[in-house]
Amino acid sequence: MTDDAIFLVQAGALTALKETPYAKEDILQQVLEDYPALIAGFATSGDSGRLLLVRREMPVPGAAGPTGLSLDHLFVDESGVPVLVEVKRSSDTRARREVVAQMLDYVANGVAHWPPNELRQSVAIHAQQAGTEEGQLLQERLGIDDADAFWRAVEDNLRSGRVRCIFLADRLTPGLVRIIEFLNEQMRDTEVLGVELPQFTAQGEAVVYVPRLVGRTTSAVVTKQGGGVRWDKQRLLEEAAQHCTEPELKFLEDLLVHREAKSGRFNWGTGATPGVTGWYVVDDVETPVWNVNVGGPNAQATFYFIFKEYVARHPQRATTYADAVSQVPGFAPKVSAAQSNDWKSWVGLPLSQLAQVQVLVLAAVEVASASAAP
């Protein structure tokens, strides 16, 4: 009796609450929608442990499978980290490889194709249904005061793969638990976790939920800590000085100065190697234009022109941007390949190669970052 029960003492009486299977997967999904706090302590990166539902049955463009394939739940935490949750009952007879493949399909395509404005609109709809406004809902649920800055953080996290994937079930099989642990130990920016959420009931008593976390092994924690540094200008330049030549370092400094002279911002990386993305306000829209990864002792420092996100924001400027980048030696074939792929890529070359032609690189950045004449 004690193997599948918990005991509740009330008014001197002992009541055994027996573990009860969920009658349908939809019931478990609804429990999570109604009470996200059940997993918030496991599923958040902030201190307060709060989650906000973006959407249940979130469509995932590009995911393999039948039309209308969707993730069970998409949440965001107070740090703007997207939290993807896929719900399965232990009685689900599908092979664990299918369940894992499905989640990986969702995260791979979600980070690439979910428009942040669409996520924000979903939250705004929830707010309207609750009789309030988006900003008020963010403040009440997550303690967020600056909605615009919060959604920029969500976008940065999506594009950088800083997301959390959760397999939720009443019970997880040992085989699936090991896969979750392995993935979490190997992936630096993406966290993969499992949460068991069995329910215990007794006649005439309320339901008791007992969540249990799996997947956050010591090795996984070490992996995440290794990629958890938030770089800044000083740290990036100090690291670059150890691995880059003087011309490369001069190019990097001039690139940072160019962004600082314009309206926009830097998105400093959190990876094991220092990186930064230069964002500019182009035609009143914040737009990523370039990225630099400084590399390390065993990796080349690399500069990238960002086409994917740039063209998505400014499709009418794609040709002008491409022409300017193609003037930089070595980029013309890469630009052509990006165009044939509907601009769904970044194009990059080693910093050592571009330091010799930095004037042309900065000229291309100037073309991309300059707003059209009124």
Domain boundaries, the chain: 2-226, 233-369
Query: How would residue 46 be classed by pLDDT, with cut points 50, 70 and 90?
Result: very low
Query: How would residue 373 be classed by pLDDT, with cut points 50, 70 and 90?
Result: very low
Contacts of residue 292, Cβ cutoff 8 Å, sequence gap at least 6: 252, 255, 275, 276, 301, 302, 303, 304, 351
Question: Which pair of tokens denotes residue 116?
Answer: 């942040």
| CB neighbours of residue 359 within 10 Å | 10
Mean pLDDT of 41-62: 77
- Rounded to whole angstroms, the Cα distance separating 154 from 114 reads 11
Asked whether the beta carbons of 5 and 17 are under 8 A apart, the reply is yes
Q: Which residues pair with 266 in a beta bridge?
A: 278
Mean pLDDT of 63-75: 75
Question: Which pair of tokens denotes residue 355?
Answer: 């330091």
Mean pLDDT of 181-193: 85
- Rounded to whole angstroms, the Cα distance separating 99 from 78 reads 28
Greater pLDDT, 75 or 345 = 75
Regarding beta strands 51-59 and 13-20, do their DSSP bridges make them parallel or antiparallel, or are they unpaired? unpaired
What's the pLDDT score for residue 222? 56
| pLDDT tens figures, 235-267 | 889 888 888 899 999 999 999 999 999 988 998
Amino acid at 83: V
Local structure of residue 169 (DSSP, 8 states): E
Q: How far is CA 159 from the centre of its chain?
A: 6
Asked whether the beta carbons of 252 and 240 are under 8 A apart, the reply is yes
What's the pLDDT score for residue 1? 39
Query: How would residue 357 be classed by pLDDT, with cut points 50, 70 and 90?
Result: very high
Whose tokens are 């001069």? That residue is 250
Q: Which residues pair with 170 in a beta bridge?
A: none
| pLDDT tens figures, 300-319 | 788 999 998 899 899 999 99
pLDDT value at 126 more than 50: yes
pLDDT value at 188 more than 90: no
Q: For residue 53, which phi and psi values (nearest 5 degrees)?
A: -70, 125
Amino acid at 223: T
For the chain, how many residues are written? 374
pLDDT value at 65 more than 60: no
Asked whether the beta carbons of 167 and 88 are under 8 A apart, the reply is yes
Mean pLDDT of 61-71: 68
Contacts of residue 123, Cβ cutoff 8 Å, sequence gap at least 6: 52, 54, 134, 137, 138
What does the mean pLDDT of the chain come to?
84
Greater pLDDT, 273 or 58 = 58
Asked whether the beta carbons of 124 and 147 are under 8 A apart, the reply is no
Mean pLDDT of 165-172: 91
Q: For residue 58, which phi and psi values (nearest 5 degrees)?
A: -80, 115
Sign for the CA dihedral angle at 91, 97, 100, 106 comes to negative
What's the pLDDT score for residue 205? 65
Lowest mean pLDDT among 56-65, 132-141, 241-250, 336-345: 56-65
- Rounded to whole angstroms, the Cα distance separating 329 from 360 reads 9
Nearest-CA neighbor of 50 among 85, 75, 29?
75
Helix, strand counts (H, E) of the chain: 15, 15
Sign for the CA dihedral angle at 304, 301, 241, 327 comes to negative
pLDDT value at 64 more than 70: no
The percentage of the chain sitting over the pLDDT mark of 70, rounded to a whole number, equals: 87
